[in-house]
Amino acid sequence: MPNQDLKNDRFLRALKRQKVDRTPVWMMRQAGRYLPEYRASRAKAGGFMDLCRNAELCCEVTLQPLARYGLDAAILFSDILTIPDAMGLGLRFVEGEGPVFDRPLQTVADIRNIGIPDPEGELRYVMDAVSTIKSALNNSVPLIGFAGSPWTLATYMIEGQSSREFAKTKKMMFDEPEALDELLAKLSESVAIYLQAQIARGADAVMVFDTWGGALSPAAYQRFSLQPMELIVAKLKKFAPHIPVILFTKNGGQHLSKMADTGCDALGVDWTTDLRDARAKVGHRVALQGNLDPLCLLARPERIREQVARVLESFGPGEGHIFNLGHGILQQTPPEHAAAMIEAVHELSPRYHV
């Protein structure tokens, strides 16, 4: 059991709702463009995917936020779109526009034609990054592996880029739901084996990012977002029962109870749900991760501290809270404001764990 060797296991303990001395903290997108040292590493690599394909540079940027702040977990530096890229869709990151696929899925035949990528084949560069990071961390803090949810990946694969309305994806959902089911089944299998491979290479916990599940009706959420994630949790629990699994549906506050029933260990909660209500909904089934509004980090440090106090108070005393932002940290965030948030968690949270 490698976990027992970790010098700081607060994050893993909180995921299992065990006693900690203070609330563990990490930030979604903690390695990224708000840090000048990230921008320097990114410039060295060339493009964003060149950075993702270079294990040494992935390791360098993963460790950058840990060198600055008292964080309780590291997260693999990669992207959720590595799987669609490995399926042959041709991923490019266009400056100022975000991800673009050269060959988006347009027909049922396109869906039939895609295969399930081999994590140690086309995606070996991600696995090499996991191994390099795991070894560089030297058991200081746990390493989080991750993937996108099948629904969220499907939206990028069908739209061909970021989208607000998901017009093409929803047209398919209403016109040809079986075709979408088929795509989601392939993605569920791909995500499950991809996360298993990350675990085999040393990831101590895994998180599934369902960024766009909140755009679905409750019935559609159940079929097209939750069910595929439930399948992934079942496969992961069979493969590695002791590795915690975190599910995060942005804007998914109304689904928390059903999400807790999947057998996962923790749920990410964005800022549109109060942690007190979230805790009431999930009871003792799962831990909760969140949920400071990332925009709060643009305000002055005294205000940040007040909002940290508010989040800690909303979860209240007891175990099973991992402090985090409710979504990724913004590029415009002053790095010292992130420091103010983390210091406030360190100072204000021990009283909730007596």
Give, as ranges, the residues between 142 and 161 that touch ligand 1CP (CB under 6 A).
146
Q: Which two tokens stand for residue 321?
A: 């809270």
What is the spatial distance between Cα 123 and Cα 256, in angstroms, rounded to a whole number? 32
Q: How far is the CB of 148 from ligand 1CP (least distance, A)?
A: 6
What is the spatial distance between Cα 232 and Cα 126, in angstroms, rounded to a whole number? 19
Handedness of CA 99, 57, 136, 319 (dihedral sign): negative
* Known catalytic residue at 112: no
Selecting among 29, 68, 103, 223, the annotated active-site residue is 29
Closest CB to ligand 1CP among 71 and 173? 71
Instruction: Using CB positions, name the residue nearest to ligand 1CP.
Output: 162
* Known catalytic residue at 300: no
Go through 317-351 and write b for each residue having 16 or more CB atoms within 10 A of its CB, e for each that does not. Answer: eebbbbbbbbbbbeeebeeebbebbbbbbbebbee
Give 90-94 contacts, CB < 8 A, sequence gap 24+: 91/49, 92/49, 93/47, 93/48, 93/49
Closest CB to ligand 1CP among 7 and 164? 164
* Known catalytic residue at 29: yes
Q: How far is the CB of 158 from ligand 1CP (least distance, A)?
A: 13
Give, as ranges, the residues between 58 and 77 that touch ligand 1CP (CB under 6 A).
75, 77
Selecting among 9, 79, 128, 270, the annotated active-site residue is 79
For tokens 């913004």, name the residue: 330
User: One symbol per residue from 79 to 98: x for binding ligand 1CP (CB under 6 A), - otherwise; what is it?
Assistant: xxx----------------x
Q: How far is the CB of 72 from ligand 1CP (least distance, A)?
A: 14
Cβ neighbours, 10 Å, residue 124: 15
The interface region with ligand 1CP, picked from 22-30, 135-143, 224-232, 308-316 by CB under 6 A, is 22-30
Count of positions (residues) in the chain? 354
* Known catalytic residue at 42: yes
Give, as ranges, the residues between 257 and 296 that touch ligand 1CP (CB under 6 A).
none
Give the Å distances, CA to CA, from 38 to 34, 64, 94, 297, 334.
Answer: 8, 7, 18, 19, 14
Residue numbers of the site for ligand 1CP (CB under 6 A)?
Answer: 28-33, 42, 48, 75, 77, 79-81, 98-99, 146, 162, 209, 211, 328
The set of catalytic residues is 29, 33, 42, 79, 156
